[in-house]
Amino acid sequence: MKIAFYIPILNVGGAEKVILNLLKQLTCNSNDSYFLITDKKNSVWIGELDTKVTVLNVDSKNHFFSRLYNMRKVIKENKIDLLVSHLTHSNIHCVLIKLLYPIKLILVEHNITSIYINDIGRFGFVFKFFVRNLFRRSNLIISVSKTTQKDLISNFNIPSTICKVIYNPIDFEVIKIKCQDKLPDSFLEKIKQRKFIVTIARLEIQKNHIFLIESVKDLLISEDIVLVFVGGGSLRRQIDSKIKELDLQDHVILTGYENNPYPYLLNASLLVHPARFEGFGLVLVEALYLSIPVVSMDFEVAYEVLENGQLGSIVHDKESLLIGLDYHLKHGADNIKNNYTEHVYDQYNLEVITNQYYAFFKSTYEQI
């Protein structure tokens, strides 16, 4: 088989990490040919792809029709048998391509699609129309959580017969290796041997950083602890302004994008995840694997990943957030059961998840 993954740009993000991990495992254990189709040549993570993966650039310059034409051309010239698209806007493009060119197509949805579309703004109704009417034209839709799948079926009337769930794969061996790196000296000088709470996420409105800063202000000052944001994004200036407004420069640190966030996670007193919604919540699993206590806002997937609060604290407002943080700061990892690491490894390890993906690749390719 010739299998092509499509994502517009392979920059930092959960879907991008999934693609990297899958391609790494697939190229090791398969005789098939793998391709990555992108819109931009100079993505952050392109250099981390296995050399067995052929990168195809469509050079669309963000023009809708140019992208459709160029992708159809690339797919036809390289005789791609199966196209695997990631992220809602990319999935829409690929279904339109399927209407123009006969190719087997698998869509992978990484977000709660209805919430994602509502956040788009005035053009959300266009996305809603495309998802409701075109997604059903794909051969298969893989959702990264049961919550994501339920949203597609309930809110967009997608036939359940073409919907499957596969959790995101995690390369735990890489995490082990990356955890061996030391924290930067400049960071250690800033925290001055104080405890710190970490959030690892893009600085975007979905991740709810402003709410978190406002909620924990008094806790940070009274307990003399530090809140660390690992990640970059469009809200950097707004978050910086909020930190200065609340006079928290000594208690909140923004590291920016980090190629290796795991030393921050491993050395944190706990992970707090304030997101309004997630399709999966990769960092929750990574924290559990490292036996780091987790406090998460109560988006629906948090109940799925944290097993209704058995594996971490799920909170719904400022008051319950502060209670959860205070509890874990006082008890540390005492309440983390030894089997959490083994539990998440069995459920999310790269080999198991890749085998699930490949089984669907094969069955889709063989469809008449």
pLDDT exceeds 90 at position 25: yes
Find the mean pLDDT for residues 9-16: 84
Residue 2 CA, distance from chain mean position? 26
What is the pLDDT at residue 338?
Answer: 55
Find the mean pLDDT for residues 324-345: 80
Amino acid sitting at position 35: F
- Superfamily of the domain at 173-347: Glycogen Phosphorylase B; (3.40.50.2000)
* Interval 99-110: pLDDT, tens: 989 999 999 999
pLDDT exceeds 90 at position 119: no
What is the pLDDT at residue 123?
Answer: 83
pLDDT exceeds 80 at position 334: no
Determine the Cα–Cα distance for residues 246 and 223; give it in Å rounded to an integer: 16
Instruction: Identify whether the C-beta of residue 273 lies closer than 8 Å to the C-beta of residue 325.
Output: no
Query: In the chain, where does the domain assigned CATH 3.40.50.2000 lie?
Result: 2-169+349-365, 173-347
The two tokens of residue 155 are 């809110």
Find the mean pLDDT for residues 210-226: 97
Pick the CATH number of 2-169+349-365 from 3.55.50.30, 3.40.50.2000, 3.30.420.40, 3.40.225.10: 3.40.50.2000
Q: HEC string of the chain?
A: CEEEEECCCCCCCHHHHHHHHHHHHHHHHCCCEEEEEECCCCCCCHHHCCCCCEEEECCCCCCHHHHHHHHHHHHHHCCCCEEEEECHHHHHHHHHHHHHCCCEEEEEECCCHHHHHHCCCCCHHHHHHHHHHHHHHCCEEEECCHHHHHHHHHHHCCCHHHEEECCCCECHHHHHHHCCCCCCHHHHHHHCCCCEEEEECCCCHHHCHHHHHHHHHHHHHHHCCEEEEEECCCCHHHHHHHHHHCCCCCCEEEEECCCCCHHHHHHCCEEEECCCCCCCCHHHHHHHHCCCCEEEECCHHHHHHCCCCCCCEEECCHHHHHHHHHHHHHHCCCCCCCHHHHHHHHHHEHHHHHHHHHHHHHHHHCCC
User: Shortest CA distance to 40 belongs to which of 15, 57, 20?
Assistant: 57
Instruction: Identify whether the C-beta of residue 27 lies closer than 8 Å to the C-beta of residue 1.
Output: no
Q: Position of tokens 């909620």? A: 215
pLDDT exceeds 80 at position 112: yes
Q: How many residues does the chain have?
A: 368
Model confidence at 337, in pLDDT bands (50, 70, 90)? Answer: low
* Interval 43-79: pLDDT, tens: 878 888 988 999 999 876 667 888 899 999 999 999 9
Residues 6+ apart with CB under 8 A from 125: none
Instruction: Identify whether the C-beta of residue 35 lies closer than 8 Å to the C-beta of residue 7.
Output: no
What is the pLDDT at residue 299?
Answer: 93
Instruction: Identify whether the C-beta of residue 216 lies closer than 8 Å to the C-beta of residue 325.
Output: yes
* Interval 125-170: pLDDT, tens: 999 999 999 999 999 999 999 999 999 999 999 999 999 999 999 9
Amino acid sitting at position 119: D
* Interval 255-270: pLDDT, tens: 999 989 999 999 999 9
The secondary element (H helix, E strand) that includes residue 21 is helix 14-29
pLDDT exceeds 90 at position 122: no
pLDDT exceeds 70 at position 335: no
Find the mean pLDDT for residues 307-330: 95
Determine the Cα–Cα distance for residues 183 and 185; give it in Å rounded to an integer: 6
The two tokens of residue 133 are 């009417």
- The region of weakest confidence among 17-21, 28-32, 77-81 is 28-32
Across the chain, what does the average pLDDT equal? 93
Instruction: Identify whether the C-beta of residue 148 lies closer than 8 Å to the C-beta of residue 15.
Output: no
